[in-house]
Amino acid sequence: MIDIQISENPLVPQTCQDAVADPSAGGAVIFLGTVRNQTKGKKVIKLEFESYVPMAVKEMHKIAETIVTKWGALHVSMHHRIGLLEVGEIPVIIAVATAHRQAAFEACQYAINTLKETVPIWKKEIFEDGAVWVSAHP
Applying CB under 8 A, the residues found at the interface with other proteins are 33, 49-52, 54-56, 58, 80, 91-92, 112, 115-124, 133-138
Asked whether 111 and 31 are in contact (CB, 8 A), the reply is yes
Q: Hey, what amino acid is at 54?
A: P
- C-beta of 3 vs 124, nearer to other proteins: 124
Chain-centre distance for alpha carbon 120: 12
- C-beta of 21 vs 132, nearer to a copy of itself: 21
Number of Cβ within a 10 Å radius of residue 115: 20
* Smallest gap from residue 18 Cβ to other proteins (A): 21
* Smallest gap from residue 11 Cβ to a copy of itself (A): 12
Axis crossing angle, helix 53-71 with helix 101-118, rounded to the nearest 10? 150
Task: Choose from a copy of itself, other proteins, none: what does 134 bind? Cβ within 5-8 Å by kind.
Answer: other proteins
